[in-house]
Structure 1
Amino acid sequence: MDTDKTETKAAGRPVVKRVLMVVAMLLTAFHLLASFLWIAPSSTARQVIPGNLLSEYMIPLWGQSWSVFAPEPINGDYYFDVRAVVKTDGGGEEVTDWVRATDVELDHSTYRPFPPRSAGLGIGVASDIKGSWEDLPNDQKAIVKLDYFKGDDSVDRLTTKLKEYEDPDGAVGGYLESEHLATAYATQVAKAIWGEDVQRVQYQAARQNVVPFAQRNDDDAERPNIQPVPVGWRALVSEPHQSDEEFAKYFCASDEVRCADEQ
């Protein structure tokens, strides 16, 4: 009787091993495909992976690109500034000063041999929304500068307004996705710094190029002007999978910022 049970278990083990091996191979194949699509120049090939699955899988743990290498190395800095409207003790509201979230994030990686991958999150958000904003027609860029924070339908009203104008390249959809991500990030930054009294947020992504290579030996050379993305006030955005508490612990560990629980 015991011999039969032992033989049955032994016979079942190869099946389990084969299943696990197949699963591991499929996961490895998916990771290699996703990594190839992500680091390759943007193209329609990315549509092989449906929806936002590719970006959600690659960011923030696996994100990478070839932009650090020649012939087009990184030649500029991205900034992401956040401010908020908060409730006062007297029942009124006040506007906070701007805080450069990207400086806070980079402080987590400066002089650290093993920085967290999340230290580049703010730069990634700024780069993403700036690229999407640049693709918008001028009419839509003017709308983005306006405030949309009143009511639960503020996003719907913004979407409707943007789609009232011609969008020959279909850029509005991509921009709205980028703005949603940027607003969610700005919301977490604002709550980490100013607490739960935050009523609405405003953020500004920007890029500033380095001194051109041809002027590298010119002592009087100055960096080009900052290229901002002007966005109006927005309603708060919180995703179900986000943890404001964990983000605040990480973000506020930097010496570059004073958060609500430290003031």
Structure 2
Amino acid sequence: MTRPDTPGQADPQLAQTRRALRHLPGGARALTWPLVALVLIHTLIIGLWVAPSTPARDAVGQDRVREYIQPWFQQNWSIFAPNPRRVAVTFEIRAIVEDPDAGETVHTDWVDLIDNEDGIVAGNPFPARTAKISRRTADRLHSAISDMNTEQRDWLKASYTDTPVEQLRERLVAVDGGAGTSDINRYMTADAAATRIATGAAENIWGEDGEVLHVQYRTSTRPAPSWDDEERTVDDTTRTEREYGWRAATDLTEEEIASFAPYLDQGGDWR
């Protein structure tokens, strides 16, 4: 007797599957390949985003990849290796506000936006994606500058209020040693996001006092104490601060400014 898998005799189950596929409605068959193509394109873009900088990623364009990924997916390498947070992070902002009536400018106090985010996520198992925008931005800044040398980090402290901040990229690239172009590009992307967040928050917090001219942000980390050190908390560990200069306020529309209000209000009366 000939076995079913012997050449010349088709597998009955396979043959039945093929007959079923041939009897699919024409519309279903027509949708198959477009859906497959969409899945492949999506997978390719995700791969480009989570992978290090490559010629393929550069060919597609950093901005195009970022526009697709953010803010909808927020994919990064940690989706493959989730781990508990081992540091406490701050993302503080302040602004220079011009009072048109008094004809003077005022430097505001520092405000930590992550305090606001802690108010949003505390006791909320399903917070909105916007509940972590400052924390994610601080993490990206820290990751991007981790390989920068002392000279590059000193350039980060320079202010760009009248001078285009794009010149900062040129100065960072010109430094010998330290972080390379990929890390510098990541920093500039995070810097633009941080400036935008600082501007939107400043307009909501201090905008009624006058025109927000310039904003500044700073970040810090504190490591979690050892698990066997029961008497210490994260507030007792040494804070490592990272300084960045003043930036010209981002030109936001009224609608964009208003979109920051729910983010700030969710955290409670913290301002």
Q: TM-score range by the shorter chain?
A: 0.7 to 0.9
- CA 1:19 to 1:119, structure 2 compared with 1: closer, same or farther past 3 Å? farther
Structure 1 unaligned regions, length at least 5: 1-12, 259-263
Query: What is the total number of aligned residue pairs between the two structures?
Result: 238
1:205 has 2:214 as partner: no
1:105 has 2:102 as partner: no
1:179 has 2:188 as partner: no
How far apart are residue 163 of structure 1 and its match? 3.9
Counterpart of 1:162 in structure 2 is 172
Moved more, 17-26 or 194-203: 17-26
For the 8 Å contact 2:115–2:270, the answer to whether it is kept is no
How far apart are residue 238 of structure 1 and its match? 3.7
Q: How does 1:45-194 map to 2 (within 5 A)?
A: 47-48=56-57, 50-64=61-75, 67=78, 73-88=84-99, 89-150=101-162, 153-167=163-177, 169-170=180-181, 171-194=183-206
Moved more, 169-178 or 63-72: 63-72
Give 3-state SS (helix, strand or coil) of 1:199's partner: strand
Q: For the residues of structure 2 that align with 1:136 and 1:47, how far apart are their CA atoms? A: 25
TM-score, structure 2 normalization: 0.73
How far apart are residue 204 of structure 1 and its match? 0.6
- CA 1:197 to 1:78, structure 2 compared with 1: closer, same or farther past 3 Å? same
For the 8 Å contact 1:107–1:256, the answer to whether it is kept is no
Aligned-partner residue type, residue 230 of structure 1:
E
Determine which structure has more spread, i.e. the larger CA radius of gyration.
Answer: 2
Q: For the residues of structure 2 that align with 1:225 and 1:52, how far apart are their CA atoms? A: 37
Q: For the residues of structure 2 that align with 1:64 and 1:156, how far apart are their CA atoms? A: 26
Give 3-state SS (helix, strand or coil) of 1:208's partner: strand
1:200-219 deviations in Å (ceiling 9; x for gaps): 0010122222113xxx2223
Moved more, 140-149 or 157-166: 157-166
Counterpart of 1:43 in structure 2 is 52
How far apart are residue 174 of structure 1 and its match? 2.7
Give 3-state SS (helix, strand or coil) of 2:229's partner: coil
Give 3-state SS (helix, strand or coil) of 1:154's partner: coil
Structure 2 unaligned regions, length at least 5: 1-24
1:29 has 2:40 as partner: yes
For the 8 Å contact 1:82–1:203, the answer to whether it is kept is yes
Q: For the residues of structure 1 that align with 2:233 and 2:110, how far apart are their CA atoms? A: 24
1:254 has 2:267 as partner: yes
Give 3-state SS (helix, strand or coil) of 1:149's partner: coil
Q: For the residues of structure 2 that align with 1:188 and 1:71, how far apart are their CA atoms? A: 30
- CA 1:37 to 1:210, structure 2 compared with 1: closer, same or farther past 3 Å? farther
Aligned-residue sequence identity (percent) comes to 27
- CA 1:205 to 1:23, structure 2 compared with 1: closer, same or farther past 3 Å? farther
Q: Which among 211, 234, 239 is matched to residue 226 of structure 1?
A: 239
